Structure 1
Amino acid sequence: MKKIILTSIFLAFLISFASPSFAETKKLTIVFTGDARGELENCHCPKDDFGGLERRSNYINEVKKDVDEILLLDVGDVLPLFNPEFNRQAITYDAFISLKAMDMMGYDAMNVGESDLILGEKFLQEKSQSLKFPLISSNIAYKSKNELFFKPYVIKTMKNGLRVGIIGVTNERYIINSKSLDVAPNREMVARSVKAIRSHVDLVIVLGHIGVPYSMDLANAVSGIDVILSGHWDAETQEPTKAGNTIIMPTKYHARKVGRLDLEIESEGGVSSYEWQSTPLDEKYEGDSFIKKLALKMPSAKKQEREKPVTITRKVIQEKKSILTEADNMPAPGKPLRVLVFYAVGCRSCMEVERDVLPGIEQKYGDKIVIETYNIGISRNYAQMVRLEKLYGAEGGYVPEIIVSRYVLMGEKEIKAGLDKVIEKALSEPSDLKTSGLTKEDVVAYQSPGAADSLILSRFASFSVFTVGTAGFLDGLNPCAFTTIVFFISFLTFVGYRKREMIMAGSFFTIAVFIAYFLIGLGIFKSLRSMSAFSYAALAINIIIGSVAFILGILNVVD
């Protein structure tokens, strides 16, 4: 009996001694950025002057002093898109500096966003060969074959033995600059990668360049994801949210704030607890470093500093922080007045405003204003125009349209007559005017997937059947079409066609016109126009038709 008691005590001692090792948790510190879009230096903003590669490097070095090891990741969109400030040469330099700086900071992986392919996949592939960190994407694939262009994931083993699987993904709704690549559905491709690595790792992290709402959908649809670092969505705060067991934390605009997640990982995998930080890269992290010297190599930065231009650079808006409140559009001390120009491709009045009005306005007001142009062919931009019209009581507008402060100018005539006066008035107004911004519910609705499309559809849904029918009938009374068919029938009569043959030919002509208008309504020609080769094909067709018409005219005169 005594032996049994002693043995029991001994076993209990062993179990109590060993139990801490069974319950031991491992720690992981994740530092991440995203959506830098080519911003090498701090933004030099009148307020919240954050960001820049040099400050980011100094922040990361500070974290490394406090933590034995960090996992340093980027969610994507390191490179900028084409705009007046960034031509191909400028983006090439920017890419070299940004990627080189990230390499020096010690990044562990970078997801490929749509803007990272702005110079083509071969350019990015060549750059990646000189980098110590991998570029990953689980859903950017060849169109012609079932094969991914980048590695879908990487597995990194930390010093404490923790195995971390890192998966890259972008949203299939985004357009990439490639003729041979396409973006596959994010849920399906992430599910494949999770299935492939889940049993080999302790933690699965997805670098999701897909937006916060889509990250929520992904977490709910695919099990086995522990963390989603979400980009391409300027969230109001970086505070993490949870979808089931998945932690979702967004990036911040132009990487001006750096996200940090401190995780405790259970021995059998899974996050037991976490803490988060969102650190603005302010002057606290200023300092002379090699990264700063590297950033100053950017030719455009030197040129701008040397020339100090009087006029302000015009911004072409494709994807940017949404115009959500009236206060965003109001003048503020030290902040230039925003002049929002909404236009459509091919709109003659829009081109005349661009050519005849805006240059004089830029010259007159200089850095007191900033002109931002929005192509309403992009649904997000059209939705912004509609929302601002509604906010300022000017619904039913049309392009060209310019919004300054609370004033809405529609049409070429009104813009030419009133833009200068409106800007003068807006600049003279006090900045603390009472505003009536959108409600929180409006903002949430706007940020949800498909909100822009819903807003556009709601405007068209307000049209009655009578309105649509009348518009169609009036549009059908086309003098050009009548003249053409009269000429066509007259020609057939002259040639000697019989009545039945003329009816058949006229019917086919009418059907062809109907099909052409129907395709225009479906947007088929809008799609063709967006193709890079369309403008050249259109030019060639115009030259051929013009030449034929000229020859026929000469022959007619001779005859």
Structure 2
Amino acid sequence: MKKVNLFIFGFLMALLVGTNVASAFEVSVYGRGIPSEEIYQGKSNFFVDLGMHSITSENWKTALDKLDKVVILPNQEDIKNIPAIEPLGVPVIVSDWKGADTDFPVLPSFFYHENEHTLEIFNWSSDFPDMSFIDTARKSIEKENPDQILMIVTEKNAQFIKDQLTPFQEKTEWIIRDEVSENFVQNIDIPEKPVIYFFFSSRCPICRHLKNDVTPPVFEKYQDQIKVIYLDYVISAHYEKLVLLEETWQVEHKTSVEIFSDAGYVASEDEKTINEQIEELIQKTLALSNEEKKKTQTLFTGKIEDLIFNRFKGFTPWVVAGAGVLDGLNPCAFATIIFMVNLLMAIGHTRRRIFEIGIAYSLSVFFTYLLMGLGIFHIWQTLSAYQIISRVIYGVMASVLIIFAILSIKDAIQYRKDKKETEFSMGLPKSFRIKINQYLKKSFSEKKLIVAAIFSGFVISLLEAGCTGQIYLPTIMYIARESTSLRAFFFLLLYNTFFIIPLLVVFLGVYYGSQSKALVNFGRKNILFSKLAMGSLFIVLSILLWQSALS
């Protein structure tokens, strides 16, 4: 017996998103008899079949075939008819039935999506459901946070389930199966809130700061009146929607963060004014009547791909290269390579090894961004485990830089006290540095250190990117992913080449600067100033890394 393709059906339902042009959408629930033809011509968006029809499976199949969007919530007697209905591909939900084998299409709950709102449906067929199923339902509701819940229960299990799911009572509609009459039909209105689309890039620190730290208060103020949808336009489908909305509203000055509703848009990166602009947009949106609402479906009748390709044709190599250089001004990447060079110099590594490790790190950044541009590593950025690892790495580096700062300041204090000229050692005694170097040489071969540099470049590149290029880069990435355009791939290479230029300048500046006789002589003649300046630099870099670790 083949399984009903529940996941494909659910995915297709998830695509049925549009604009909030009404205050509610309607779901029709029926049972104990196939409803009359009138139900098919009604305004219902979706149908829930409770079964218990007392008809043959063939007649049931014929009735279901007339409905485009329907889910079956059978009782335990109906389950024997499911194999005959299975070829229709209609999802079947039994939230508390384990089944004798895995062939039966049992699913804990079903999600129906309409106009960016979600209805989660549960079907409790057993009078005494296992507590593990209740826990599964609770976790699902907490995770997905549906706008409305439909619970189909029995007379005996109703109170028990209500008691266990008390926190969700306010948005739950209950239907007791035993009380369902012959030819039962009930229409349920699912309330809709005006939708606010918040477009951002997960690769952009400014975007993440605005999304996570700056704008939440204004959205929380109106959380009972609006629904905020966050869309990362690094994902091609989200970028298509962003371009569509930009075309609809004729957005001229594009930014890395853009917010849309039926009343207009906000395009801003200014954390001082963005909340004021968002609140004004929300108030305009709430004041709209149904007739005044501007549909987010654009009047553009062609393909969205054509819009994106036309945008891409307007790019020039100089614009792309400039965006790459500006985005390459990444403090966290700079802090990391300065940290690595100074650590290796402090413990006495050779110039050749330091150069190789710095180049390996820079090339790792280049190729990671290139592969990300082709969409290869995007999923990694959404993994919680990856986020934790990134935060730990930043936290460790920030802590070590603080230690460096303390040791540099200690060096300065010691020099002021003794007036004795010393080599720059960050306070580490020569014997201690020799021991550390011996340990590293014993534990880490040159290849292992290079691998560590490559890994560091990879992890930091996944977490950090600039924001200037988010106006251009998503278009280039989209074309490179969705077509075989050599021009798009060339632009991607060009962007990433210029992206690492600032990083290489910083690395080579630190590397050659440390060997410059003029700088060395200046440092020796101004030891107190040099050590205090170095300590201050380490403190600033540590703060930057801590900000990234905590944001």
TM-score, length basis structure 2: 0.43
Question: 1 or 2 for the larger relative contact order (CA 8 Å, sep ≥6)?
Answer: 2
Q: Which has the higher strand share?
A: 1
Q: Which has the higher helix share?
A: 2
